[in-house]
Amino acid sequence: MKRTNKLPELLAPAGSPDALRAAIEGGADAVYLGGSGFNARAGAVNFGEEQMADAAALCRMYGVSLYVTLNTLLYDRECEAFLRYAATLYEIGVDAAIVADFGAMRLLRTYLPGLPVHASTQASVHSLAGAEAAARMGCRRVVLARELPLAEIAAITAAASIETEVFLHGALCVSHSGQCLFSSLVGGRSANRGECAQPCRLPYNGTYPISLRDLSLAPHVPALIGAGVASLKIEGRMKSPAYVYGVTSIYRRLLDEGRAATAEENRRLAALFSRSGFTVGYFCGKCERPMTGVRSGEDKSASRALPPPPVG
């Protein structure tokens, strides 16, 4: 379903109240954040119930949509607590829940049909059939798998009966759509439960064979606008407010002006955070070499040299 607005929504991460304010100041149309449970970034500061209510009020004040991640896989014993928490979010007035577990989607459709649901990228939707399955589960939007090339993104978006969302910038998981069991197997910390220890970022035999560079689609903003997607998502709930403000403000300008990033804007994005530069991932229909990279001393120095974001 192609969007009705001229531009896609710019969706920014908020791993803390300070990052939320940075995202709004940077020009985000919408923000996504995690609450006290059931979200895939347990290591972020996240938001308690009172903070969530404050966040919702702040977003309403600035006309920014608020999406809350409920994107861990559920155990059966958690279903009742999950529904209680989702009901609290509904009462607070959040704009949507981002959900990965198809059983959780069914629960929300049955017991909280008024709460809009977005299918998380961890639902691994990579086809029109997958998008339509999410629609039948009651989802209003689907976050497409990060491994899709532009042609498939555009084709799914044109034919689907629900909105599509695409990751625009930030960290990539070495596993398909983040469905990795490496951390769980080697350390007992499940990525699908919000506890990933990122063993993919570690050296093996003196090299870093599975540490992917961050994604940056800044050179392809006009193509993304033309593809008709409803939302463009910046990864980074574990990142600093300075990162959130800097990346969001650059993409705000690119979207408003309908253009690709300049060389200087690309350099600033890399200074904010990169791992030996960026990759376009799978977006162009091929995996360039190398796609791997590490956070070098030079990368860290460039980030430290940046001024703080102009937010209170």
Long-range CB contacts for residues 219-223, cutoff 8 Å, separation at least 24 = 219/260, 219/261, 219/266, 219/280, 220/150, 220/260, 220/280, 220/283, 221/251, 221/254, 221/255, 221/258, 221/259, 221/260, 221/261, 222/258, 222/259, 222/260, 223/150
For the chain, percent of residues with pLDDT exceeding 70: 96
- 130-167 as b/e: b if 16+ CB within 10 A: bbbbbbebbbbbbbbbbbbebebbbebbeebebbbbbb
Q: How confident is the model at residue 180 (pLDDT cuts 50, 70, 90)?
A: confident
**Mean pLDDT of the residues in the chain:** 91
Q: Region 41-69: what's the mean pLDDT?
A: 90
The position carrying tokens 């829940």 is: 97
Q: What pLDDT, on a 0 to 100 scale, did the predictor assign at position 213?
A: 94
Q: How confident is the model at residue 15 (pLDDT cuts 50, 70, 90)?
A: very high
CB 252 within 8 A of CB 232: no
Question: What is residue 220's DSSP assignment?
Answer: G
Average the pLDDT over each of 30-39, 171-180, 186-195, 259-268 and give the range with the smallest value.
Answer: 186-195
Q: What pLDDT, on a 0 to 100 scale, did the predictor assign at position 44?
A: 62
Backbone dihedral angles phi then psi of residue 168, each to the nearest 5 degrees: -105, -35
Indicate the helix (H) or strand (E) that contains 141: strand 141-143
Q: How confident is the model at residue 312 (pLDDT cuts 50, 70, 90)?
A: low
CB 27 within 8 A of CB 248: yes
Q: Is the pLDDT of residue 289 over 90?
A: no
Task: Give the separation between CA 35 and CA 68, rounded to whole angstroms.
Answer: 7
- Structure tokens of 98? 């981002």
Q: What pLDDT, on a 0 to 100 scale, did the predictor assign at position 286?
A: 75
Q: Region 173-194: what's the mean pLDDT?
A: 78
pLDDT in tens, 206-227: 999 999 999 999 999 999 999 9
CB 130 within 8 A of CB 147: no
pLDDT in tens, 234-275: 999 999 999 999 999 999 999 999 999 999 999 999 999 999
Task: Write the CA distances from 198 to 81, 183, 212, integer angstroms.
Answer: 28, 6, 11
Q: What pLDDT, on a 0 to 100 scale, did the predictor assign at position 199?
A: 86
User: Whole-prediction pTM value?
Assistant: 0.94
pLDDT in tens, 82-138: 999 999 999 999 999 999 999 999 999 999 999 999 999 989 999 999 999 999 999
